[in-house]
């Protein structure tokens, strides 16, 4: 991975209370010499893992750009549930009740106030490209968006954004969708594997030049056994403890059929190139 080039952005989200993965990414960012102003967190710093308060404090002290995810919004408002958008009585919904109650109990009032102040979106202008950073979708903080979504849904999403490039999080799986006039990029989750049968987690870099944008999906390895120990000590879900090591989600409730079929298939690091003529190119 090359060191910092001008107009390079490091993107991540979904820390999920995983302090070890967050610190590993911090070390990677320092190694790449990416300025803090160019590092973007797409939200959901608190969720499945045990260090919700510690992760939030670490990210706040890091001094990077952060937007509000549905977890930050729910915790700040003392809502009755995480606001993830899970269907009622599904496995995800049932498991979320435990970790959300835990997060509410360990996160300080100071952190809740910070969560409340976070913007829901951020806009970036760079080399005549307009970028919108959101959590779920431009107009819905907890909307799940996946690569295989139908074309009519993509047309609506791009129209809502009023931007060339949309950076989003929430769904937990890394992907880039290139259209004729717009690009959608999701860095995947930093705090939980991508349901691909490996313990690796994900982040990305985006490089904006005068003529084109490159979206680069990167894996990150870290000491997940320490994360597991903390979760076990605090009585958190065995299903998610297991998922950290084995890379399989406890449930496929939120996934479209194509993404369900890809469970256990290791994802590859890759780069997508989107140029000013909006011609689609891909390098795997």
101 pLDDT higher than 70: yes
Average pLDDT, the chain: 92
Contact 123, 130 (CB under 8 A): yes
pTM exceeds 0.85 for this model: yes
Are residues 45 and 72 in contact, defined by beta-carbon separation less than 8 angstroms? yes
Q: How confident is the model at residue 92 (pLDDT cuts 50, 70, 90)?
A: low
Which tops the pLDDT comparison, 1 or 105?
105
Give dist(CA 154, CA 144) in Å, integer.
12
Q: Summarize the confidence of residues 175-202 as an average pLDDT.
A: 97
pLDDT of residue 184 exceeding 50, the answer is yes
Give tens-digit pLDDT for 21-70.
Answer: 999 999 999 999 999 999 999 999 999 999 999 999 999 999 999 999 99
Contacts 24+ apart (CB under 8 A), 227-234: 227/18, 227/19, 227/20, 227/21, 227/49, 227/50, 227/51, 230/19, 230/49, 230/50, 230/51, 231/48, 231/49, 231/50, 233/50, 234/50, 234/102
φ/ψ (deg, to 5) at 107: -85, 130
Over range 103-131, report the average pLDDT.
96
Cα angle 245, 66, 103; round to 5: 50
The band of 88, judged by pLDDT with boundaries at 50, 70 and 90, is low
Share of the chain above pLDDT 70, in %: 91
pLDDT tens readout for residues 259-281: 999 999 999 999 999 986 654 44
Q: Is the pLDDT of residue 195 over 80?
A: yes
Q: What is the reported pLDDT for 52?
A: 97
The number of angstroms, rounded, from the C-alpha of 60 to the middle of its chain's C-alpha atoms is: 17
- Give bridge partners of residue 2 from the DSSP assignment: none
Where does the pLDDT of residue 86 fall: very low under 50, low under 70, confident under 90, or very high at 90 and above?
low
Q: Is residue 145's pLDDT more than 90?
A: yes
9-23, 74-88, 125-139, range with the lowest pLDDT: 74-88
Q: Which pLDDT score is estimated for 97?
A: 76
Domains, in order of start, for the chain: 8-283 (3.60.21.10)
Distance CA 70, CA 275 (A): 32
Query: Could you tell me the two tokens for 4?
Result: 């910092």
Where residue 73 falls among pLDDT bands split at 50, 70, 90? very high
């Amino acid at each position: 991975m090359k060191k910092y080039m001008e107009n390079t952005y490091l993107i991540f989200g979904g820390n999920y209370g995983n302090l070890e993965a967050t610190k590993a990414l911090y070390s990677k960012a320092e190694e790449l010499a990416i300025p803090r102003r160019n590092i973007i967190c797409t939200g959901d710093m608190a969720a499945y893992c045990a260090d919700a308060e510690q992760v939030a404090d670490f990210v706040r002290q890091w001094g990077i750009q952060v937007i509000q995810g549905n977890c930050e919004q729910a915790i700040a408002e003392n809502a009755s549930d995480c606001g993830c958008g899970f269907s009622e009585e599904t496995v995800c919904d049932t498991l979320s009740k435990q970790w959300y109650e835990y997060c509410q109990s360990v996160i300080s009032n100071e952190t809740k106030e910070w969560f409340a102040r976070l913007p829901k979106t951020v806009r970036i202008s760079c080399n005549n490209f307009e970028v919108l950073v959101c959590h779920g979708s431009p107009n819905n903080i907890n909307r799940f968006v996946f690569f295989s979504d139908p074309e009519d849904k993509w047309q609506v999403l791009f129209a809502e954004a009023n931007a060339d490039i949309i950076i989003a999080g929430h769904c937990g799986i890394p992907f880039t969708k290139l259209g004729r006039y717009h690009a959608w990029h999701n860095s995947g989750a930093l705090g939980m594997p991508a349901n691909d049968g490996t313990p690796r987690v994900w982040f990305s870099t985006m490089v904006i030049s005068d003529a084109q944008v490159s979206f680069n999906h990167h894996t990150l390895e870290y000491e997940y056994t320490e994360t597991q120990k903390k979760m076990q000590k605090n009585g958190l879900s065995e299903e998610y403890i297991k998922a950290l090591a084995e890379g399989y989600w406890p449930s496929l409730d939120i996934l479209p059929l194509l993404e369900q079929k890809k469970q256990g298939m290791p994802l590859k690091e890759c780069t997508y190139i989107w140029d000013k003529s909006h011609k689609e190119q891909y390098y795997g």
